Amino acid sequence: MGRTMRLARTVALVAVLAVTAFVVPTSAVQQTEVSLVRIRHAQGVATGGEDVVWILGVGSDARPGQVMTRARGDALQLVGINTRTGAATAIGVPRDSWVAIPGHGREKINSALYFAGPRGMAGAMRNLVGIEPDYVVVTRFPFFEDMVDDIGGITVTNPRRFTDPNLKKEGFARGRIRLGGYDAMAFSRIRYNLPGGDFDRSANQQRTLRGIHARIRAQADVPGFIERGVMTVMAHTDTNASPGELFEIAQAVAQVDPRRITTCVVRGRIGFVGAASVVFPDVAQARRLGREARQDATLRGC
Amino acid sequence: MPRPSPGRVHHAHRARRVVGLALVLLVPFASACQSTSEPSAAPERLSRSDSRASLAFHPESTKVGIHRVHGRLPVARRKAVRTQVGAVVDRWWEAAYLGGSYPRSSFPSAFPGFTDAAEDRARADKALLTNQVAGPRIDSVTARKRAVTLDILAAGRQARAVTAQFVLTFDTTGSRAGTTTVRGRLFLTRKRGVWRVFGYDVAKGAR
């Protein structure tokens, strides 16, 4: 009882002090305490070198115990960030795209990682799109889930309801949906009953990237958020970027304007090479996308 | 061993809570350090014959604290980061807001410690990142608050990158008399042993 009284007295005292601080005028001549303060804002990040930084994000399908960079690269997104304008773009490539892999002839692009590692994957992407990425970041699905959980989940805009009997029986609803780590992984991996198959899946990966970006941007000014994110990326990915470079990239990502993000998935037609089902990519379109975005990370169309 | 009475235990708990609260309140001050890059305490005469001449004397020193170190970093290196990054921020503040001879409209070297590319960007934002707009109507500038808080990213027991959250408040005299607050974040990385600013996110307001 005494404790309750003491607590009540303390609360009352704090309240009185707080009200006093705001209400009671100071002695002497009262100066203007409330004024219209015009606050202006500027931000900029320069990562050095070119205005546009190109990063190839690769989702490895490595199983537990497998080396992440010597497995198939199943999610492939070439991301460009224009640090001068705040624009960004993502060019998605279906994993079964039949392309030239440096030193290994023609194969599905997802096998470039298995045959030639991140550098080979970068070469395969250059052969298709015409842009050599500055950095390659490889992660595997469980790590990707952890990273999404670490940033507190994401929100994506899903254009259609879809399900998967193995990864998401109850499916994903149409509209704005909230995804935790596992759901973000499933949303990005499922192609079962997507009308556009691999192409729609790649577009979903880009929706996931937009969700991740929005989350990073919203929290970038929380002290330590970017540093924690970089630590997580360092722990969960294989990349040729140094910690300092990852930090620069993360700050550049945080300053991307969501209204200036453009995305596209390289088209193609389904065919066969021997018994294997492959995608013959529209190389002309891929090159056009590369040409359009190379200088300013902006696509004019898809 | 005599057991303390319940009343004494309660009293002791309360005392500990008070001490704890005091420590929490004190830690930001205790962990702050004074940047060694401060200009000499001696007043510096900035203008020779101008009737509006003023002395640039900034008694308020910069308090640099660490919010958190992400990764492992020995204590001595933490201190070095605090000193070195504090010096970089100080040099910018001196060049862009506090130092020099007022009134003035020219801020030709306002971004020491910035990378070339960041300086290029910053020049386009000079209205905010310096006193250029109000400079011709200012007679003197006096710093009121200079505080920097660091988040340090460390890898391999070395500091690699820093976010420096800062608040700079200064009073101005002249036809543009008032108080200006500049707050925001500077992003720095360490290359070849030198901390350089590669990005910024800054807000500026005056009243």
Question: What type of residue is A25?
Answer: P
Length of chain A as a residue count: 302
Rounded to the nearest 10°, the torsion over CA A151, A152, A158, A162 is 110
Name beta bridge partners: A177. Answer: A156
- Range in A185-189, A236-240, B135-139 with the lowest mean pLDDT: A236-240
The predicted pLDDT at position A236 comes to 83
pLDDT band at A97 (very low <50, low <70, confident <90, very high): very high
pTM above 0.80, yes or no: no
Mean pLDDT for the stretch of residues A60-75: 92
Residue A210 in this model has a pLDDT that exceeds 80: yes
**Are the C-beta atoms of residues A127 and A99 closer than 8 Å to each other?**
yes
- Mapping DSSP to helix (H, G, I), strand (E, B) and coil, where does residue B173 land? strand
Residue B32 in this model has a pLDDT that exceeds 70: no
Residue B41 in this model has a pLDDT that exceeds 90: no
Of the candidates A267, A273, A251, the residue with the CA atom closest to the CA atom of residue A302: A267
pLDDT band at A24 (very low <50, low <70, confident <90, very high): very low
Residue B5 in this model has a pLDDT that exceeds 60: no
pLDDT band at A193 (very low <50, low <70, confident <90, very high): confident
Q: What is the pLDDT of residues A133-185, one digit of tens each?
A: 999 999 998 889 999 998 999 999 999 999 999 999 999 999 999 999 999 99
pLDDT band at B206 (very low <50, low <70, confident <90, very high): confident
pLDDT band at A4 (very low <50, low <70, confident <90, very high): low
Taken in order of first residue, the domains within chain A and their CATH numbers are 52-294 (3.40.630.190)
Q: Evaluate the omega torsion of the peptide bond into residue B103 and state whether it is cis, within 30 degrees of 0.
A: yes
The predicted pLDDT at position A6 comes to 62
Residue A32 in this model has a pLDDT that exceeds 50: no
Chain B residues at the A interface, defined by Cβ less than 8 Å, are 67-68, 70-71, 115, 117-118, 120-122, 124-125, 127-129, 149, 151-153, 155, 160-161, 163, 165, 185, 187, 189-191, 198-207
The predicted pLDDT at position A2 comes to 56
DSSP state of A97: B
Q: Which residues of A touch B70 (CB under 8 A)?
A: 224, 227-228, 230-231
- State both tokens at A66: 């497998």
For residue A24, count other CB atoms closer than 10 A to its CB.
8
Mean pLDDT (chain A) is 88
Of the candidates B192, B131, B207, B187, the residue with the CA atom closest to the CA atom of residue B158: B192
pLDDT band at A240 (very low <50, low <70, confident <90, very high): confident
Q: What is the pLDDT of residues A104-113, one digit of tens each?
A: 999 999 999 9
User: Alpha-carbon torsion B180, B185, B191, B193, what sign?
Assistant: positive
The predicted pLDDT at position A278 comes to 96
Mean pLDDT (chain B) is 80
Mean pLDDT for the stretch of residues A51-68: 92
- Mapping DSSP to helix (H, G, I), strand (E, B) and coil, where does residue B5 land? coil
Three-state SS string over A9-72 comes to HHHHHHHHHHHHHHHCCCCCCCCCCCCCCEEEEEEEECCCCCCEEEEEEEEECCCCCCCHHHCC
- C-alpha distance from A231 to closest chain B C-alpha (Å): 7
Mean pLDDT for the stretch of residues B95-111: 94
- Mapping DSSP to helix (H, G, I), strand (E, B) and coil, where does residue A262 land? strand
**Are the C-beta atoms of residues B172 and B140 closer than 8 Å to each other?**
yes
Residue B109 in this model has a pLDDT that exceeds 80: yes
Q: Choose between B91 and A10: higher pLDDT.
A: B91
Task: Give the integer Cα–Cα distance in Å for B55 and B39.
Answer: 13
Q: What is the pLDDT of residues A251-278, one digit of tens each?
A: 999 999 999 999 999 999 999 999 999 9
Q: Choose between A229 and B8: higher pLDDT.
A: A229
The predicted pLDDT at position B15 comes to 43
pLDDT band at A45 (very low <50, low <70, confident <90, very high): confident
pLDDT band at A289 (very low <50, low <70, confident <90, very high): very high
The predicted pLDDT at position B35 comes to 44
- C-alpha distance from A11 to closest chain B C-alpha (Å): 16
- Mapping DSSP to helix (H, G, I), strand (E, B) and coil, where does residue A221 land? coil
| CB-CB under 8 Å, A227 with B151 | yes
| CB-CB under 8 Å, A223 with B121 | no
| CB-CB under 8 Å, B152 with A227 | yes
**Are the C-beta atoms of residues A255 and B201 closer than 8 Å to each other?**
yes
The predicted pLDDT at position A28 comes to 37
Whole-angstrom CA distances from A104 to A72, A260, A289, A292 are: 15, 37, 25, 28
Q: How many CB pairs under 8 A join A and B?
A: 117
Token look-up 């929706």 returns A207
- Which overall architecture, per CATH, does domain B33-206 show? Roll (3.10)
Q: Choose between B6 and B195: higher pLDDT.
A: B195
| CB-CB under 8 Å, A223 with B67 | yes
User: Alpha-carbon torsion A63, A69, A74, A80, what sign?
Assistant: positive
For residue B102, count other CB atoms closer than 10 A to its CB.
27
Residue B13 in this model has a pLDDT that exceeds 60: no
**Are the C-beta atoms of residues A88 and A82 closer than 8 Å to each other?**
yes
pLDDT band at A26 (very low <50, low <70, confident <90, very high): very low
Name the percent of chain B lying above pLDDT 90: 68
**Are the C-beta atoms of residues B155 and B70 closer than 8 Å to each other?**
no
Task: Give the integer Cα–Cα distance in Å for A216 and A246.
Answer: 14
